[in-house]
Chains A and B, each alone.
Chain A
Amino acid sequence: MGKAFRLSTEFMAGILAGAGLGYALDTFAGTRPWGMIILLMLGFGAGIWNVMRASGFTRPPAPPPDRPD
């Protein structure tokens, strides 16, 4: 359950961030509705990317091995 919840919030956060950025861009740059449309789609991409990273589907570059000391 913890894992499923983690993945769903990752996906949701990507979309929310995209939508929020698009809305801010539209409000300040006056590009309504294109900023929202494009950034929402990119937000979907970012959400899926988040999920893939969180589920270990794409292995991020391994952290450097700890030096024993």
Chain B
Amino acid sequence: MADPIHQFELKTIGAPLFKIGGSDIVLTNSALFMFGAVAFIVALMLMGTSARSMVPSRIQSVVEMLYEFVADTVRSSAGHDGMKFFPLVFSLFIFILVLNLAGMIPGGFTVTSHIIITAALAAVVILTVIIYGIMAHGTHFFGLFVPSGVHPLMLIILVPIEVISFISRPISLSVRLFANMLAGHIALKIFAGFIGSLLAAGAWGLLSPLPLALTVALTALEVLVAVLQAYVFATLTSIYLHDALHPGH
């Protein structure tokens, strides 16, 4: 049966570009997909916003719908003044969305199935929250860790729990996206592999339509998960930014 992990393997493309500190900097398939995603997004946005007609063309209405969708998410989760972070949330959303969907193309590579990528994206979010929170509110930002209306003795336990809970946010943010993409693609590959194994096993081949049907269903589910996880990432980013904007509870 085909190796289900093989699809996540990083491959270098071409010769090393240059050296930094003795290690080669090479173009990998992951980097290539990210460059491709950025190029695709920029092209889509430029094509969608160049005409600016009252009656939108197809591409313009796609771009407008994306804008409205993310803007609604930011407004409902981060509040009205959260719109100053709209460019960040929109960039994260569309980058993750395009990378997730690029992974659904047969033979494609799922960049977001590597935890280092999602951890870097989560680090961007949480550093924005911390740096903006401290810049805007000073030490008042740390009031986030002190729940209001509890007995002072309970604070000895509750403050460390709130701190750990805050530290766990980038972990859960990155693990959720990476694990969803990884698990989904592995499941898809395994069920697709069953078709070939059953066909090769003589009379058992009569059963092969069953995993085929499941693979088709799983593909649809994976497209849903790809979009849903990008949305969840954007929503949670907005919720965390809400804490940076209004830390006082």
Q: Which residues from chain A sit less than 8 Å from chain B, CB to CB? A: 2, 5-6, 9-10, 12-14, 16-18, 20-21, 39, 42-43, 45-47, 49-50, 60-61, 63-64, 66-67, 69
User: A2-B228, A6-B232 known; A42 and B172 CB under 8 Å?
Assistant: no
Question: Known contacts being A42-B164, A66-B75, is A2 close to B171, with CB within 8 Å?
Answer: no
Q: Are B168 and A66 closer than 8 Å at their CB atoms?
A: no
User: Which of B77, B169, B176, B228 has the most chain A CB atoms inside 10 A of its CB?
Assistant: B176
| Contact assessment for A21 and B249 in the assembled complex, using a CB-CB cutoff below 8 Å | no
When chains A and B are docked, how far (Å) is the Cα of A10 from the Cα of B157?
Answer: 20
What are 27 A-to-B residue pairs whose CB atoms are below 8 Å?
A2-B228, A5-B179, A5-B180, A9-B172, A9-B179, A13-B169, A13-B175, A14-B172, A17-B164, A17-B167, A17-B168, A18-B164, A42-B160, A43-B168, A45-B161, A46-B162, A46-B164, A46-B168, A49-B162, A50-B172, A63-B77, A64-B79, A64-B246, A66-B79, A66-B80, A67-B80, A69-B80
Residue of B nearest to A64 (CB): B79
Chain A, Cβ-Cβ closest to B180: A5
Total residues of chain B contacting the partner, CB 8 A: 26
A13 lies within 8 A of B160 (CB): no
* C-alpha spacing A7/B80, complex, angstroms: 27
A21, B164: Cβ atoms closer than 8 Å: yes
User: Does B114 count as interface, using CB distance less than 8 angstroms?
Assistant: no
Task: Flag if A21 contacts B161 (CB, 8 Å).
Answer: no
By Cβ-Cβ distance, the 9 closest A-B pairs, closest first, are: A13-B172, A17-B168, A13-B168, A46-B164, A13-B171, A46-B165, A17-B167, A9-B176, A14-B168
Q: Which residue of B lies closest to A47 (CB)?
A: B168
Residue B185 CB within 8 A of the other chain: no
Task: State the CA gap A51–B238 with chains docked (Å).
Answer: 18
Q: What 1/0 mask marks residues of chain B from 225 to 248 whose CB sits below 8 Å from any chain A CB?
A: 100100010000000001000100
A15 CA / B173 CA spacing, docked (Å) = 14
Bound Cα distance from A21 to B228, whole angstroms: 31
Q: A63-B242, A66-B75 are in contact. Are A12 and B175 (CB under 8 A)?
A: yes
Query: In the complex where A2-B232, A61-B249 touch, is A12 in contact with B172 (Cβ < 8 A)?
Result: yes
**Residue pair B168, A6 in contact (C-beta under 8 Å):** no
Tell me which residues across on chain B come within 8 A of A18, comparing CB atoms.
164, 168
| Residues of A contacting B246 in the complex (Cβ-Cβ under 8 angstroms) | 63-64
Contact A14 B175 (CB under 8 A): no
Residue on B nearest A10 in the bound complex, by CB = B172
Instruction: Pick from A10, A12, A14, A67: contact of B164, CB below 8 A.
Output: A14
A60 to B243, CA, bound (A): 11
B161 with A49: CB separation less than 8 A: yes
Query: When the two chains form their complex, are residues A43 and B176 in contact, meaning their CB atoms are under 8 A apart?
Result: no
Which chain B residues (70-103) contact chain A, with CB distance < 8 Å?
Answer: 75-77, 79-80
Please measure, in the bound complex, the distance between the C-alpha atom of A42 and the C-alpha atom of B44, giving whole angstroms. Answer: 47
